[in-house]
Amino acid sequence: MNSTHSDAPIRILLVDDHTLFRRGLTALLSRDPMLQIVGDAADAGEAQRRAEALQPDVILLDNHLPGVNGVDALPALREAAPQARLIMLTISEDGEDLAAALRAGASGYLLKTMEGEALSRAIHRAVRGEPVVADEMTGKLVEVYRQATAPVPPAAEPAPQSGALSPRETDILRGIARGDSNKVIARDLGIAETTVKIHVQHILRKLGVSSRVQVAVIAVERGLI
């Protein structure tokens, strides 16, 4: 990422076809001194050109754009700015849109109804490598996942090794499924945050997944929360 130092601002490209919304969002995010709006775009083509020229750290992208919609634009944007975190910021609460965005490489899926401070926090989390999904969409993500996997016979896909998780790892798995940060999990369990980070890496490896979102889906499926 361009913001390689902790004291460097996060450089953001806004992509939305409504000029007033872009201006309002720019004013809102500018309240955070660590967020810098470096450019904006009204459609996917312009977004790709600006992303290639600016190499932002984060691209905030609406799904409803003229011509090519936001989800379909994700592959081209990833190619134009490989290091950027791509976050959908949309009014769509459709589970299929959410699933399609995550499959296409989005780091997050947020709703335009969220508060400004919450959006700022989500951007910071995404830059740290955490997936960010609106709380309202978690249940729909799980439902889409269940629908996609329901027709598959149990023997057709390897089952994650849940039995290999230690009791402590299971506790941390529940925290991840609730959407808790490592800091919150550490506080609740009375252990160091660095210890939680190590356990999270073990959990990801044992379950054969690469993101906390996938861990949350598995936890919900198994009735752990």
H helices of 88-224, where?
95-103, 116-127, 135-149, 167-177, 182-189, 193-207, 212-221
> Does the pLDDT of residue 31 top 60, yes or no?
yes
- According to CATH, the topology of domain 10-143 is Rossmann fold (3.40.50)
Order of strands across the sheet that contains 108-111 = 35-41, 10-15, 58-61, 85-90, 108-111, 132-133
Region 164-169 average pLDDT: 85
DSSP 177: H
pLDDT tens string 113-149? 888 899 999 999 999 888 788 878 877 776 666 665 5
> Does the pLDDT of residue 111 top 60, yes or no?
yes
Residue, of 110 and 211, whose pLDDT is higher? 110
The answer to which of 50-59, 73-82, 90-99, 212-221 has the lowest mean pLDDT is 212-221
Region 66-91 average pLDDT: 91
Residue partners of 70: CB distance under 8 A and separation at least 6: 15, 44, 61, 62, 63, 64, 88, 90, 101
pLDDT band at 158 (very low <50, low <70, confident <90, very high): very low
Region 138-166 average pLDDT: 57
Residue, of 39 and 6, whose pLDDT is higher? 39
Tell me what pLDDT residue 148 has: 54
Residue, of 210 and 184, whose pLDDT is higher? 184
Tell me what pLDDT residue 146 has: 62
SS3 category, 206: helix
Mean of the per-residue pLDDT values for the chain? 83
All structural domains of the chain with their residue ranges: 10-143, 158-221
CATH of domain 158-221: 1.10.10.10
Residue, of 180 and 18, whose pLDDT is higher? 18
Tell me what pLDDT residue 180 has: 80
Enter the pTM of the model: 0.65
pLDDT tens string 167-187? 898 889 888 877 788 888 999
The answer to which of 6-10, 68-72, 162-166 has the lowest mean pLDDT is 162-166
